[in-house]
Amino acid sequence: MKGFIDDANYSVGLLDEGTNLGNVIDNYVYEHT
């Protein structure tokens, strides 16, 4: 079960990073258009 929880936390971390990266890209595009 511990492995499952670790995997879930890892997946959530990836989602958070992906969202942040998307925001950075959106801001970059917005400032350069």
Per-residue pLDDT of the chain (33 residues; tens, 9 = 90+): 678 888 888 888 878 887 888 898 899 998 887
CA 17 to the chain's CA centroid: 2
Compute the distance between CA of residue 18 and CA of residue 3 in angstroms, rounded to an integer. 22
pLDDT at 26: 93
Give the HSE-up count for residue 9: Cα atoms under 13 Å, Cβ half-sphere. Answer: 6
pLDDT at 1: 67
Residue with tokens 């499952």: 4
pLDDT at 33: 78
pLDDT at 27: 92
CA 23 to the chain's CA centroid: 9
Compute the distance between CA of residue 32 and CA of residue 20 in angstroms, rounded to an integer. 18
